Every structure is written in structure tokens, then in C-alpha cells.
Chains A and B, each alone.
Chain A
């Protein structure tokens, strides 16, 4: 399977671990990622609030490159990139005037037909069965809170075949690799990314709310698929600790990192050492032999039934 790859700026900067973990995981899944040549900004952060045409033309340029490279599918792991690429593609399809303007700017004809996919969609495409097959490490000892944020579930009807306000497609992926998820309430609550630089106090408050709710429902880790969500939830915890002394830090992992862990990929290769909030306790918990108390009771079962379970799994 060959796939176009548009990393975007974050995956070369603040989200390097997202990039490295992705590459590791897809290598293990035998998916070739072909990075776009000379890709440019997707127009996410500032372009779309300052110039509408720029926010359409910038993604259009990247889509053209993909087409020229003979790609039919393009993976945009960053949720903001994904949102811009898809929105631009949609607008060019529906608005002929805009298409003509953009063609003038790019001095090229805009072509359509490229499928843009985000991280959740690519896992769904590969198949949850395949992820299950590749599973080597038991990650059932930790409980994950899946955080979708805003961009991953939008635009409605295009992004995910899921409920925009109450999604659960990420949970399905984690369950397929043997992970446990918590049912919590802040899956799509705003993390304040738009205020990330200017109003850190607001961001801290919003992130604190999200983290508290995840922990309240028993989460050991928050799983994200967006560099913006990650930087806010992970990095801002340093300040949150300062302002809320009783704050218990919680690691924030990319979905690809968790999938990588389940596949037994080396932690360093997955970039698990670069988080602001240490992932060590989490990794130790995964590795610990001690089973969670409620499961422990079931351990002394006759060996016959164990075999049965194993067979069942293989079958």
C-alpha cells in the first residue's frame, strides 16, 4: 500500500514524535509513505483568518503536487492540515468562481479526485483486524481517554462517519489493539488552541477542565490525534501545576504512539522520551506484571480454559 504523506509544519516541529511514531507504525504495517515534494503551508493557523483566498489556494497547491506525484490518497495526520485540505478541496469543487481565482493564482488548472485522509481514517482503512494481528504487547493495564478536539471531527459528514458531538471511532481503534478506554465527557471540549499563544491563562483553564474530567473517569493517559491538542494538553500542564498545586500530571500520547507501543516498537523510536509530562510511569504500568486488582481474581483458572482462550484468540 502506497500513501501520499503531508506532514505539515507541526510534524517537523512541536510534534516530531508524532512524525516518528507514524513512520514506525506504518513501516510495521507495510504502508509506504511518500512525502510530497516541496510541500508548503496548509494555511491553517493564520492564513484562514486573514485571507480567505490564501486559505484555499495554499492547500490547493499541495493537492496539485500530490496529483503530479501520481498519488490518489493523501495522509494528513495533523488535524488542522486535514481540515484545511478537505475544506479547500470541497470549496474548489462547489465554488467555480473561487476555483478560477485559485487557478489564476497558481497558474495551473485545479484537478480533483484526490482522497485526503486523517489518522483515524487510515487506521480504519487498513483495517482494525490488521492492527489486532500486529499486537504484541498487552496494553490492557492502562486506561485511555480519547480526546478528539474540534478539527478531527469536522467538517461534518466528511471527516468521520461518526457523531460530531459524541464520536467513538478512536475508542474502536484502541479496543482493537487490546486497550481499555474510559467513558468521559470532554471528548470534544475546546482545548483553547486558538488562544494558545495569546491567552495562555484561558488555555490552562480549559485544559485543566479536560484533564480533570479524564482523570475523574479513571484515565491513565490522554490519547490525541492532533498536534495542537497535544501541545496544549501536554505542554500547558507545566503551568497548570504551577497554578493548581494539587494537579496530578497525566501523560498525553498520540494515537500512533499507543498503537506503536502495542506493536512492541521501541519506545525511543516512538518518541516517548520527549514529552513534557513524563511517560515513564505509564510505560512502567504497562510493563508491570501486577495485574489490576479486579482482574487478579480471575487468574487462578484451570489451564484448560487458558488454552481455550488462546485458541479462541488465534481463531
Chain B
């Protein structure tokens, strides 16, 4: 094998502490090296030309470059070599800058180390094999799970770029939590006014296939090639016939039995219902758990009044499969239930606040509904118990957040802001009312956020009390709120008419199950895990699956939208090419020596190891061996180190390559 060695000075960056000509000279004497030279800037055009020229003239088989970190210029040199006719995987980089010249001062030591590093690379490259990048076809369609604002944004961005999107929403309508909000911080603009046009756009977009009242059941395949099975829950209404006239809901005799999910239980809805007037799609569903027909077999009122004969009591759940190239998870959050401690739950609840026991202790989303013009009180500030105007209102922040003993140690991020907004909305509607906020710290990082909180305090005269509330109980129609003012160092008792708890944002209950379906990781709270906290915040460790919005961690609207767009951009990057190129650093099984113990399967974090049957010509089973699914394998090499017979090897980091480096250590 003819090896060419090139030592870069990197201007003075390497040259100052490493005697590059000496390194080059030393390398020339290594067995196999037929060419060795040093140059001021190897990555520059003239530098690259030196390499290309040497390859052509001396018919080199492999190249070793001593330069900066491979994370910087490995690609540059691979490309240069490839253009001169050498396989790009026959190139090795010795890191002479970050790992040598920049961290040492003594020129003798640094030069010696540089020669060692070069020797390692030369010995290693002898065992390199020409490799081709793996090409995988890409299905240029995307699946978006969750039709909240983040999912809507992602779906629209992809669809507007010209690619098809399947949007799956488990509720009867898209819109998510944002559709429930009254106004948004820090501008106090109406949430539905800005959201509804987006929802309609989704519905009318020719590239978006909206599957409402549906859930992802099963996912198989890998990046660029997912096959997704979706359960379409029975609506009991034929979607294609329904005109959304609403007569069925109007005539449904069950008006009071079911609590409206959209109004967070503050109002009732019929058995056949659309969650809210602006729902998309505007097609009702029958809640079979309360419907008289499904309970007794009688009624059929909705069927009788429907002029389009769209009601179908016999409808069953159906399953559809969709082929997609990328999946965007935007399943959002829910609020921490702080009722009495649920029996089988690990959460301890906040029995002392009497949520669920006292009607006038509500959570943040319930307050949004009360404040909303489309809510149960038509926007009038009326408390749930007796529909009177609360003259004294107490807001409690951090209920469940930042509380390791009874809730979660993380900060829910949006509560400081929405509590300020709530207090403001209240003061704007009830001018003679008093608003109190119990807080731990005010966390108002964000554009115009701090100003917003100051406005609540200074202009709207909201009383901020730093401290926690220990107990709330009802006495003569008033809620007695006992807390502590830690700045004054005094106990505080407030007789309030209404208490609003800013309960923690938590992951959806089904999140871990979905994570397992998608083979992505999730943290101890059930939030999905990003691939890298700084540099790959919307990607997951499974290629082709991206995250958007509050399913990742507590997020506000602008962040959720930004993340939705980011996830869409990541999908579009995939769709930019017909074939997907992947580094060929994946495991490969030698079927002749594989004994079929499948230890590799046990340690594989990606389910990339499959079982393959080896049969003779007559079709008799000879043995079962491991087989690597190259689409799923990410190239960690744990299987390689685990395999007892060394029958599975990580291409690019094979045992002989690493042993070559270790053996070179003898000459250090």
C-alpha cells in the first residue's frame, strides 16, 4: 500500500509548537509511506492541489493528513482525495492542532507527540477499506403527530414547500391548547383570532391530509422510509356527508351529562358535539360513553334530524397506513392534575389547595376559559360556584413546578407570564377588584416579557407576594388562603372569591408509549429527548423523527411555533435529495462465524439487529444469524465489543484498525 503523508502548519497554529518539517521527515521513514511533505495551509486550494497531485503522480492508495480536528476538515480532505481518485474513506486525519500544538508549549514534546499521532494514523489507514456512502430512497411525505400550534406550523411549512403532510390529531378538532386561550402574552392579542386562520389553512391545503380523532398505532421502518399505522377512531358521523350544520348537537337530548373538554369542565356539552364553534374539521363526533342510543338502544334523535343522513351508529375504528419519510412529534402537554392524590399515581397531589373540592379553586386553563369571549361566561369575569364577580382573586404560581417533594423539579416556564396576563385581564374587567399573586421568583425572560410583568405590577396594581400558600379552605362562600409573605416575614391570610392555580405543565400521559412506538427516548418526566441539547434541539436520536413544541419541554407559543418551523426545515432537508446519503459507519455481520447468540441484539439501542435464517438449497434451516438493518444502525459499535466470536464488526472502526493504532503505541 502506498501512503501519502501531508503535514499542515495551519499558518503558525501548528507550526509554532510543532516542528512540521521534522514530522514530515519522520513520517517518510514509516513503512508504507511513499510520499511525505508539509505545507503552510493544507486546506487551502494550493494545499489540496498538492495532495491531488501527489495522488496522481505517486499512485497513492491512502492519505494521512496531519492538521486540525477531523471534526473541522475531514470532509474537505476526503472530498479532495475523492476528486483525485482515492476512495474518501482511505483518508485519515491526525489531530495536530486541537490535540497537540494548541495544548502544549514545549516544541520537542509537541513534535514527538505529533509524530506519534501521525504514526497512529498511518498504521490505521493501512487497514481502512474503500467504502461507499449508503444511499437510501426518501419518501417525500411527512407525518405530523399533534394538531396544536406547533404541529400546525410544521404541517403548513412543509406543505407550502410543496410536500405532502399527514396531520394526525387525537381530538375531534385541531387547535390544541392555544384554541382554549383567551388572550396571549405579552401583546394581549386574541388567541383564537390569530389561530383560526391557520387552522382553516390546514383544512383547505391541498397538500395536507388531516386525520382528526385519530392516533398513531404503530410505526416501522427508518429514516426516509417509515410505514405508519393510524387508528381512526369511530366518530359515528360520516365525515364526507356532514355539512357541519350543528342541528344534531342542538337537538341532542343529553345536554348536561358530559363536561366540555374544551371548557375544561366548566360547561356541559351534548353527547354529539363539536368541541368549539371554530373547530376544524367542523364535524361532530358522538361520545359513546354518554350517548343514550349507545346505552339503551333508543333515542336516535341526531339521526332523525340529520338531513344528510350522516349519522352512522355502526361505524367502527378503522386503520390506515401511510408511507412517510419523516415524522414530526408535536403532541404537546397537559396540566398537572392536582386533585387529591390519585391512588395508583406516583404524584402526590396538592390536597391542601382543595382543587376539585372547591368549585372556586381553578387552574390556569380554566381561567382562560372564563376570561375568553367564547367561554362559558361569554368573557364575563364570573366565578364558577355562584356566577358572581370575584372581588378578590388569588393566583398561586409554581403549583407542582419547582417542587421536588410534591411535583416536579423543573420550571414550567410559562406560568409567570400567563399569571401576569391573567391578573391583568382580571383587572381590566373588574376595575375595583384586588388581585394577589403568590410567587417564588418571577422568571420573565423573553422579548417584552419583563416589561409585561412590570406593567401588571405598576400599571394594573397587581399585588405580588413572594411566598408559598400552605392551605386553602372554604368558609362562608369565601376561600381562605393562608400563606406566607417571605419578604415581610409574616403570615398572610386572604379571603378570596376565586383562586387560580398555575399548575405545572407535564408531558402527555401517553408520551412514553408513543416514544416506544417511535423508538425515541424520553426523560424521567415523559418529555421527549432531543439528540443534542444545544446543537440538535429538534432532532431525536432516531433519524427522521423530529420534535416540536411542548412535548419536548415546557414552551410558550412563539417557541412552539419556532420549533415547529425548525422541525419542518429538518424534514425539508431530508426531502432535498432523492436518495439519502449516510455515513457507511455501520455494523456488519459475518454470517459464517455468527453463532446466533444475539447478544448484539440485546445491547443494540436501535433495534437494528434482526434475525436472518440461513437455509440450504433444499430450504432446510441451517442456522439463524444476526443481520444488521443498515437503515436503523447508527454505528455506535457496542455490538462489536459485545460479540463473543467477533462476528459483527463496525465498518470504519474495525478491530484491526483500532489494534493497529494500539500496536503503534509500542513505539511511543
Chain A interface main SS type: loop
Is B386 interfacial (CB 8 A cutoff)?
Answer: no
Are A164 and B343 closer than 8 Å at their CB atoms? no
B357 proximity list for chain A (CB < 8 A): 166
Are A163 and B351 closer than 8 Å at their CB atoms? yes
Would you give the 0/1 interface string for A145-185, flagging 1 where the beta carbon is closer than 8 Å to chain B? 00000000000100001111111000000000000000001
A164 proximity list for chain B (CB < 8 A): 341, 348, 351
- With A185-B473, A185-B475 known as contacts, the answer to whether A165 contacts B343 (CB < 8 A) is no
The docked-state distance in angstroms from the alpha carbon of A189 to that of B473 is 11
A185 proximity list for chain B (CB < 8 A): 473-475, 480
The docked-state distance in angstroms from the alpha carbon of A167 to that of B351 is 8
Question: What distance in Å separates the Cβ of A121 from its nearest Cβ neighbour in chain B?
Answer: 16
The docked-state distance in angstroms from the alpha carbon of A165 to that of B399 is 15
Are B348 and A166 closer than 8 Å at their CB atoms? no
Residue of B nearest to A167 (CB): B351
The docked-state distance in angstroms from the alpha carbon of A167 to that of B354 is 12
Chain A, 160-217, CB within 8 A of any chain B CB? 161-167, 185-186, 189, 213, 216
Question: What distance in Å separates the Cβ of A279 from its nearest Cβ neighbour in chain B?
Answer: 28
B473 proximity list for chain A (CB < 8 A): 185-186
The docked-state distance in angstroms from the alpha carbon of A210 to that of B350 is 21
Residue of B nearest to A156 (CB): B348
The docked-state distance in angstroms from the alpha carbon of A155 to that of B349 is 15
Residue of B nearest to A164 (CB): B351
A165 proximity list for chain B (CB < 8 A): 350-352, 471
Residue of A nearest to B350 (CB): A165
Is B461 interfacial (CB 8 A cutoff)?
Answer: no
Is B334 interfacial (CB 8 A cutoff)?
Answer: no
Chain A, 204-232, CB within 8 A of any chain B CB? 213, 216
Would you give the 0/1 interface string for B213-225, flagging 1 where the beta carbon is closer than 8 Å to chain A? 0000000000000
Question: What distance in Å separates the Cβ of B293 from its nearest Cβ neighbour in chain A?
Answer: 33
Question: What distance in Å separates the Cβ of A149 from its nearest Cβ neighbour in chain B?
Answer: 14
Question: What distance in Å separates the Cβ of B80 from its nearest Cβ neighbour in chain A?
Answer: 62
Would you give the 0/1 interface string for B471-490, flagging 1 where the beta carbon is closer than 8 Å to chain A? 10111000010000000000
Are A161 and B343 closer than 8 Å at their CB atoms? yes
Question: What distance in Å separates the Cβ of B481 from its nearest Cβ neighbour in chain A?
Answer: 12
The docked-state distance in angstroms from the alpha carbon of A165 to that of B355 is 12
The docked-state distance in angstroms from the alpha carbon of A189 to that of B343 is 23
B354 proximity list for chain A (CB < 8 A): 166
Number of residues of chain A lying within 8 A (CB) of chain B: 13
Select one of B340, B474, B475, B480 contacting A163, CB under 8 A.
B340
Residue of B nearest to A163 (CB): B351
Residue of B nearest to A162 (CB): B341
The docked-state distance in angstroms from the alpha carbon of A186 to that of B340 is 16
A167 proximity list for chain B (CB < 8 A): 351
The docked-state distance in angstroms from the alpha carbon of A213 to that of B476 is 11
The docked-state distance in angstroms from the alpha carbon of A167 to that of B475 is 19
The docked-state distance in angstroms from the alpha carbon of A162 to that of B351 is 10
Question: What distance in Å separates the Cβ of A165 from its nearest Cβ neighbour in chain B?
Answer: 4
The docked-state distance in angstroms from the alpha carbon of A242 to that of B628 is 86
> How many A-B contacts if CB must be within 8 Å?
29
Question: What distance in Å separates the Cβ of B514 from its nearest Cβ neighbour in chain A?
Answer: 29
Are B474 and A166 closer than 8 Å at their CB atoms? no
Q: Which of B351, B354, B480 has the most CB of A within 10 A?
A: B351
The docked-state distance in angstroms from the alpha carbon of A63 to that of B545 is 56
Select one of A156, A166, A189 contacting B340, CB under 8 A.
A166
Residue of A nearest to B472 (CB): A185
B343 proximity list for chain A (CB < 8 A): 161
The docked-state distance in angstroms from the alpha carbon of A162 to that of B357 is 16
The docked-state distance in angstroms from the alpha carbon of A189 to that of B354 is 14
Question: What distance in Å separates the Cβ of A84 from its nearest Cβ neighbour in chain B?
Answer: 21
The docked-state distance in angstroms from the alpha carbon of A164 to that of B474 is 19
Residue of A nearest to B346 (CB): A157
Chain B, 552-606, CB within 8 A of any chain A CB? none
Question: What distance in Å separates the Cβ of A245 from its nearest Cβ neighbour in chain B?
Answer: 23
The docked-state distance in angstroms from the alpha carbon of A186 to that of B473 is 9
The docked-state distance in angstroms from the alpha carbon of A10 to that of B51 is 92
Are A166 and B475 closer than 8 Å at their CB atoms? no
The docked-state distance in angstroms from the alpha carbon of A264 to that of B297 is 51
The docked-state distance in angstroms from the alpha carbon of A213 to that of B475 is 9
B340 proximity list for chain A (CB < 8 A): 163, 166
A162 proximity list for chain B (CB < 8 A): 341
The docked-state distance in angstroms from the alpha carbon of A161 to that of B344 is 10
Residue of B nearest to A186 (CB): B473
The docked-state distance in angstroms from the alpha carbon of A161 to that of B343 is 8
Select one of A161, A166, A213, A216 contacting B352, CB under 8 A.
A166
Chain B, 345-378, CB within 8 A of any chain A CB? 348-352, 354, 357
B474 proximity list for chain A (CB < 8 A): 185
Would you give the 0/1 interface string for B178-196, flagging 1 where the beta carbon is closer than 8 Å to chain A? 0000000000000000000
The docked-state distance in angstroms from the alpha carbon of A185 to that of B351 is 11
Residue of A nearest to B352 (CB): A165
Select one of A163, A186, A189, A216 contacting B341, CB under 8 A.
A163
B341 proximity list for chain A (CB < 8 A): 162-164
The docked-state distance in angstroms from the alpha carbon of A213 to that of B471 is 15
B348 proximity list for chain A (CB < 8 A): 156, 163-164
The docked-state distance in angstroms from the alpha carbon of A162 to that of B352 is 13
The docked-state distance in angstroms from the alpha carbon of A168 to that of B348 is 15
Chain B, 182-212, CB within 8 A of any chain A CB? none
Question: What distance in Å separates the Cβ of B405 from its nearest Cβ neighbour in chain A?
Answer: 8
Question: What distance in Å separates the Cβ of A168 from its nearest Cβ neighbour in chain B?
Answer: 8
Select one of A161, A163, A213, A216 contacting B349, CB under 8 A.
A163
The docked-state distance in angstroms from the alpha carbon of A208 to that of B475 is 16
A216 proximity list for chain B (CB < 8 A): 475
Question: What distance in Å separates the Cβ of B360 from its nearest Cβ neighbour in chain A?
Answer: 14
A186 proximity list for chain B (CB < 8 A): 473
Would you give the 0/1 interface string for A220-259, flagging 1 where the beta carbon is closer than 8 Å to chain B? 0000000000000000000000000000000000000000
The docked-state distance in angstroms from the alpha carbon of A156 to that of B351 is 13
Residue of A nearest to B342 (CB): A163
The docked-state distance in angstroms from the alpha carbon of A165 to that of B348 is 10
The docked-state distance in angstroms from the alpha carbon of A67 to that of B182 is 63
A156 proximity list for chain B (CB < 8 A): 348
A163 proximity list for chain B (CB < 8 A): 340-341, 348-349, 351
Question: What distance in Å separates the Cβ of B399 from its nearest Cβ neighbour in chain A?
Answer: 13
Residue of A nearest to B349 (CB): A163
The docked-state distance in angstroms from the alpha carbon of A186 to that of B475 is 11
A166 proximity list for chain B (CB < 8 A): 340, 351-352, 354, 357
The docked-state distance in angstroms from the alpha carbon of A161 to that of B350 is 15
Chain B, 480-514, CB within 8 A of any chain A CB? 480
The docked-state distance in angstroms from the alpha carbon of A166 to that of B352 is 6
Chain B, 286-341, CB within 8 A of any chain A CB? 340-341
The docked-state distance in angstroms from the alpha carbon of A186 to that of B354 is 12
Q: Which of A162, A163, A189 has the most CB of B within 10 A?
A: A163
Residue of B nearest to A216 (CB): B475
Would you give the 0/1 interface string for B442-480, flagging 1 where the beta carbon is closer than 8 Å to chain A? 000000000000000000000000000001011100001
- Please list the residues of chain B having a beta carbon within 8 angstroms of any beta carbon in chain A: 340-341, 343, 348-352, 354, 357, 471, 473-475, 480
Additional A-B contacts beyond A164-B341, A165-B350 (9; CB < 8 A): A164-B351, A165-B351, A166-B340, A166-B351, A166-B352, A167-B351, A185-B480, A186-B473, A189-B471
Q: Can you list 15 pairs linking A and B with CB atoms under 8 Å apart?
A: A163-B340, A163-B341, A164-B341, A165-B350, A165-B351, A165-B352, A166-B351, A166-B352, A166-B357, A167-B351, A185-B474, A185-B475, A185-B480, A189-B471, A216-B475
The 8 closest A-B pairs by CB, nearest first: A166-B351, A185-B473, A165-B351, A165-B352, A163-B351, A163-B341, A163-B340, A166-B340
